[in-house]
Amino acid sequence: QLLEWIRRTIPWLENRAPENTMQAMQQKLEDFRDYRRLHKPPKVQEKCQLEINFNTLQTKLRLSNRPAFMPSEGKMVSDINNAWGGLEQAEKGYEEWLLNEIRRLERLDHLAEKFRQKASIHESWTDGKEAMLQQKDYETATLSEIKALLKKHEAFESDLAAHQDRVEQIAAIAQELNELDYYDSPSVNARCQKICDQWDNLGALTQKRREALERTEKLLETIDQLYLEYAKRAAPFNNWMEGAMEDLQDTFIVHTIEEIQGLTTAHEQFKATLPDADKERQAILGIHNEVSKIVQTYHVNMAGTNPYTTITPHEINGKWEHVRQLVPRRDQALMEEHARQQQNERLRKQFGAQANVIGPWIQTKMEEIGRISIEMHGTLEDQLNHLRQYEKSIVNYKPKIDQLEGDHQQIQEALIFDNKHTNYTMEHIRVGWEQLLTTIARTINEVENQILTRDAKGISQEQMNEFRASFNHFDRKKTGMMDCEDFRACLISMGYNMGEAEFARIMSIVDPNRLGVVTFQAFIDFMSRETADTDTADQVMASFKILAGDKNYITVDELRRELPPDQAEYCIARMAPYNGRDAVPGALDYMSFSTALYGESDL
């Protein structure tokens, strides 16, 4: 079955017959990817299973002393491998061929579409040109009409020459489509040949008509010059009117009084040019009127046409009237916007004046609260009363914040995005106000806790002042908290001689949340414990446990490394050996030592 599948698949993979359409080639690619994804993987598994079955069968036969199994002719494992190799060889490059074919068809489709577009544009342009060139209108035309026809014909010749490149491009694309074996080349060739033949005919007819026009050119020079003068002056004037209408109807977005004043000034300057513009309009219309008089004099059937421009006097008058109507509308819009910007500026100044007072007031209060919390003037009760008075004054300031919020709401509704009258934003004020409320509440709470600690532990006001002075001295960053290095320096200044483990134990007491800082409250708690000398046996054991790295015993080397020499020798001489299951040679029992030692003073 596997060999039969391979035999059927290889011809399909070796088929390199190209398709004519992109859809058909993409379907081939999709079929090949389905083959790779859906059909081939099961066959790979079947091939592998055949080899496994064959090898297993041979092994069992050999172990049973039976003759080896010999598949029928053409169905050996080597035959399967050879056939599979042929399949792989056929498959190799098939996808690349498919992709190359798709790219070729894409190129062909692109070229064909490009050919059709250029051909359609050219055919659209040439539509009616042959009939126009074959007209005999010059036989009965007046002198002025002949002059116009000659100018028009010259313009057509320029246009014709400009289209030469497109015809050459069409022929080149058709040639490339032929070289790339485009399936619809016959229709392309036929259309290209028709375009080339028509182009040659247009050239011949153009030359023929020019010769005819030149023979009959006897038009009045005056009319021609007047038409030319009219066109030269009407075109820029028409452009000016169109630009003026665009500017007068242009929407404007301004954010300051200066911007709207600039627009108003520009508008006034524009209005000052209107009298001169009206004079130019009348002069242009006068040229047209003069042409009309000449036509009537010579009984020339000109029908009021001008070969140099399509702009008519009626069009000029219509646009001019439109400009005159737009000017007062622009005046009204600028006045309304100026009033709005004046109101916006008033809102900016109103907000800026309040924000420039409230912002510094918040900053000043923050600094004053910070000074109260670290200064040592009076008792803690005095500080608490002072802080509560500050809190009351801060709460009484809330209506001014609310008033500023109202002004800010008006600014937002007016879509005002900047304010040169202040550096404060409402967000800055809100954040500062919230920080101020939080700071005063936290500071009051800290002082209340200090009072509770002082009363509970019998700390005198002098001691509290000493604690505060020491804390302030070592709070080098003046943040109201000491970091680890500040606290270490403080302990050393008080005579502590400790290793890293002992310092870690103390930090775990004063900074249980491991934030890396020591608050004044934690400092007071620590100092009150130290001054009260209330160490217990459990605390001593906890210290030894840290020194021992959380083990239930401690070694001589660890004691000598972590403790001063006299204390280390004292402990080594008095500690009993540790006999627990996890004991190591030389292990000492610091737990029994701590229990027995608790209460002695010479440690």
Q: Tell me the per-residue pLDDT of 396-441, one tens digit each, with 9 for 90 and over.
A: 988 988 888 888 888 888 787 788 888 888 898 889 989 888 888 8
Give pLDDT, residue 239.
94
pLDDT at 530: 66
DSSP 9-69: HHHHHH--PPPSSHHHHHHHHHHHHHIIIIIHHHHHHHHHHHHHHHHHHHHHHHHTT-PPP
Give per-residue pLDDT as tens, 485-543: 887 888 777 777 777 887 788 888 878 888 888 877 777 777 776 665 444 566 678 78
- What integer is the mean pLDDT of 300-307? 63
Alpha helices by DSSP H, listed for 127-220, are 129-133, 143-162, 164-179, 185-215
Q: Delimit the domains of the chain by residue range.
A: 2-111, 139-311, 348-531, 537-598
Secondary structure (3-state) at 576: strand
Backbone phi, then psi, for 190, in 5-degree steps? -65, -45
Q: Which has the minimum average pLDDT: 107-111, 147-151, 160-164, 321-325?
A: 107-111
Closest to 156 measured CA to CA, from 264, 46, 307: 307
Q: Whole-number mean pLDDT of the chain?
A: 80
Residue 283: the pLDDT is 93
* Topology of domain 537-598, CATH: Recoverin; domain 1 (1.10.238)
Fold match flag (139-311 vs 537-598): no
- 348-531: what fold? Methane Monooxygenase Hydroxylase; Chain G, domain 1 (1.20.58)
600 pLDDT above the threshold of 60: no
Q: What is the pLDDT of residue 603?
A: 39
Nearest to 233 by CA among 193, 188, 279: 279
Confidence band (pLDDT; 50, 70, 90) for 20? Answer: low
Classify 139-311 by CATH class.
Answer: mainly alpha
Residue 594 has pLDDT above 70, yes or no: yes
Per-residue pLDDT at 275:
92
CA–CA gap between residue 69 and residue 53 (Å, rounded): 11
Question: DSSP class of residue 481?
Answer: E
Least confidently predicted of 169-173, 221-225, 528-532, 596-600 = 596-600
What is the DSSP-derived secondary structure letter of residue 306? -
Please give the average per-residue pLDDT across 453-479, as a whole number: 73
Q: Residue 570 burial by CB count (10 A; 0-12/13-18/19+): exposed, middle or buried?
A: middle
The correct CATH number of 2-111 out of 3.10.20.30, 1.10.3720.10, 1.20.58.60, 1.10.10.10 is 1.20.58.60
Using 50, 70 and 90 to split pLDDT, how confident is the model at 579? confident
Per-residue confidence (pLDDT) for residue 238, from 0 to 100: 92
For 111-120, how does the pLDDT look when each residue is reduced to its tens digit (9 = 90+)? 778 878 888 8
Q: What is the pLDDT of residues 231-286, one digit of tens each?
A: 999 999 899 989 998 888 888 777 777 887 888 888 888 889 889 999 999 999 99
Task: Answer left, alpha or beta for residue 100, where phi above 0 means left and psi between -120 and 50 means alpha.
Answer: alpha
CA atoms within 13 A on the CB side of 512: 5
Helix (H, G, I), strand (E, B) or coil at 276: helix
Most confident option among 124-133, 169-178, 316-325: 316-325
Q: What separation, in Å, do the N-terminal and C-terminal C-alpha atoms of the chain show? A: 93
If one compares 128 and 94, the residue with the highest pLDDT of the two is: 128
pLDDT over 70 (residue 181):
yes
* Dihedral sign for Cα atoms in the order 469, 473, 474, 475: positive
| Residue 563 and residue 557 in contact, taking contact as beta carbons nearer than 8 Å | no
For residue 518, give the H/E element and its range.
strand 517-519
Model pLDDT for residues 81-125, shown as the tens digit of each residue: 777 877 777 777 767 766 766 777 677 778 778 878 888 888 888
Q: What is the 3-state secondary structure (H, E, C) of 548-569?
A: CCCCCCECHHHHHHHCCHHHHH
Residue 220 has a pLDDT of: 53
The SS3 call for residue 521 is: helix
d(CA 296, CA 301) in angstroms, rounded, equals 9
**How many CB atoms lie under 10 A from the CB of residue 49?**
11
Contact (Cβ atoms closer than 8 angstroms) between residue 543 and residue 554: no
Share of the chain above pLDDT 90, in %: 5
Please state, in angstroms and rounded to a whole number, the distance separating the CA atoms of residues 560 and 543.
15
pLDDT over threshold 80, residue 58: no
The count of residues in the chain is: 603
pLDDT tens digit sequence for 314-351: 999 999 999 888 889 888 888 888 888 788 888 888 88
Residues 325/330/333/334 CA torsion (nearest 10 deg): -150
Which neighbouring-strand residues pair with 422? Answer: none
DSSP-derived secondary structure for 334-377: HHHHHHHHHHHHHHHHHHHHHHHHHHHHHHHHHHHHHHHHH---
Nearest 5°: the CA angle 435, 439, 445 is 150
Say whether pLDDT at 73 is over 90: no
- Let me know: does 429 contact 355? Beta carbons within 8 Å: yes
